[in-house]
Structures are given as C-alpha cells and as structure tokens.
Amino acid sequence: RADSVTWDAHKWLSVPYAAGMFFSRHRAALLAAFDIASGYMPEPREGSDDFYRVSLQWTRRTLGLKVFAALAACGVTGYETMIDHQTAMGRSLREKLVSAGWTLVNETPLPVVCFAHREIAAGRVTAKKVAQHVVHGGRAWISPVKLANRPPCLRACITSWKTTPEDLDILVAALGDALGVR
C-alpha cells in the first residue's frame, strides 16, 4: 500500500549489515535519479528493469548474495513463520508494557515498540538512563529514541526469532527496575 519503502534486511531477514533495500512504485523517479548512459553498457531493453540504471549500486556488488542465501535457507514459509512470531511478540510486549504502567508512543503492526513512562515525563529519570540500566543488566537491549514532535522515549525492536514471552517479561521487569535509577 505504500508509495515507497526502505527495508533493512539485517532486521527481519536476519542477514549481516549492508543489505538495505528500497522499493518504489515510481520507476521514472529512480531513472531520473540514477540513470546514466555509457558507451560500454548495453542499451536499455524495453519493458525490463536494468538494476544498474535504477539503483545506487552501479557495479553490482554481491550484497544481494546474503539475502539470496538466507531466502534459500529459510524459504518464504520459514520467513512467514518467523515474521508472524516476531509481530506476535511485538503485540505481546505492547500489552505487557501497558499492564505495567507504560504508555505506548507509536502505533504500528511492526515489532518496533516505542514507549514512555510518567516517571520519564516528570523528569525523575531519563529515557537514556533507563535504557543504559537495562542494557548494562545484560538481559535485554533497548535504546532511547527521539521521535518527531515527541519527548524522548524508549524503543524495543524485536528482530530475533528466538524471542519468547519470558524474554518480554524479563525486559518489562528490567524496565521497572530501571525506573528507580536516578
């Protein structure tokens, strides 16, 4: 449904960094931005996309190999199962946070959960201090984030297919402990 989408394959496809993707409905815009004519490159073929003409990667590095290998290993069904699990964990985390007195800041079906607490809003502790306390505890990783036109909050992004409801309980407990950090 989107006009354009950027997607980091290192998150949901669990591949190493440098496998970002950009999808757009507007081929003409991509051609206007990236197309270049060269005497040693083949002439454009009518009705086909020559990716050297519509992307930044003119020399076709093998960045896509890691994405291909991951898709070959997991398959579409494997990724469907993994993404369904991660989005379910995102929904569960939202529920657990609200039950523990946290306020959700973003609304998305993705397992990217941004949230705040009245203790942070009151200035009794900062989002940065809460995140540092959780991360230094070694059981979970979150980060502070500043969203447009919003006060600082926290961000949890579930990207592991191994995340369990118990992991979410550990995170919520660590967040509660961190509220006492001054």
pLDDT by residue (tens digit) across 133-171? 999 999 899 999 999 888 899 999 998 889 999 999 999
Q: Are 154 and 115 in contact (CB under 8 A)?
A: yes
Residues 6+ apart with CB under 8 A from 149: none
- Tokens standing for 19? 């496998």
Output the pLDDT for position 39: 73
CA neighbours within 13 Å on the CB side: how many for 16?
6
Mapping DSSP to helix (H, G, I), strand (E, B) and coil, where does residue 122 land?
Answer: coil
pLDDT surpassing 80 at residue 126: yes
In percent, the amount of the chain with pLDDT more than 90 equals 50
Angle CA(178)–CA(174)–CA(181) in degrees, nearest 5? 10
- pLDDT, tens digit, 9 for 90 and up, residues 51-61: 666 666 555 56
Question: Would you say the pTM of this structure is higher than 0.85?
Answer: no
- Residue 162 identity: K
